[in-house]
Amino acid sequence: MGQICRPSCSGNLDISRQQQGTELLDDYFVRNSAFPNTYFRRRFRMEHYLFNKIMIAVCNHDSYFVQKKDAFGAMGLLPQQKITAVLRMLSYGASADQVDEITRMGKSTILESLMRFCGAIESIYTADYLRKSTDMDLQRLLKKGEI
């Protein structure tokens, strides 16, 4: 009685997503975090302000990354958890199975986050960064190379 899965299936695991999200925030994203900014740079391969800029842009573009309540009223995953999983996969070449232990996310959620993140980044930044270079861009790069 009250069983969520079929009797022949294994039970649902309590993977403490909320606790892991809180620990991630405490480690890297709050003012007096456990690790200094140099650790953040080494772990995420970018500065903290750049991570926040990308996270805000992606959350504004796709509501999938915004934390919401589920049907039972429990809070969902934090945007930092989803984007951390995606960035770890992209920067380290990690698989979804390797990342799920760090972020406490299911494999399907990690892969969905990866696909949505890549789509959002392409939509947001294509006009600025994925365009053909102009003569003005070439001149700017040559001047920068001379310096």
Which residues, 6 or more positions from 86, have their beta carbon under 8 angstroms from its beta carbon?
A: 110, 113, 114, 117
Checking if the pLDDT of 88 tops 50, the result is yes
Determine the angle formed by the axes of helices 79-92 and 107-129, rounding to 10 degrees: 80
What is the rounded average pLDDT of the residues 46-52? Answer: 88
pLDDT digits (tens, 9 = 90+) for 56-66: 999 999 999 99
Checking if the pLDDT of 116 tops 50, the result is yes
Give me the residue spans of the domains in the chain: 17-126
HSE-CB for 82 with a 13 A CA cutoff: 26
- Cα 134 from chain centre: 32
Checking if the pLDDT of 7 tops 70, the result is no
Q: Kindly indicate the confidence band of residue 126, based on its pLDDT and cuts at 50, 70 and 90.
A: confident
Q: What percent of the chain has pLDDT over 90?
A: 24
Q: What is the pLDDT of residue 12?
A: 52
Checking if the pLDDT of 4 tops 50, the result is no
What is the rounded average pLDDT of the residues 132-139? Answer: 86
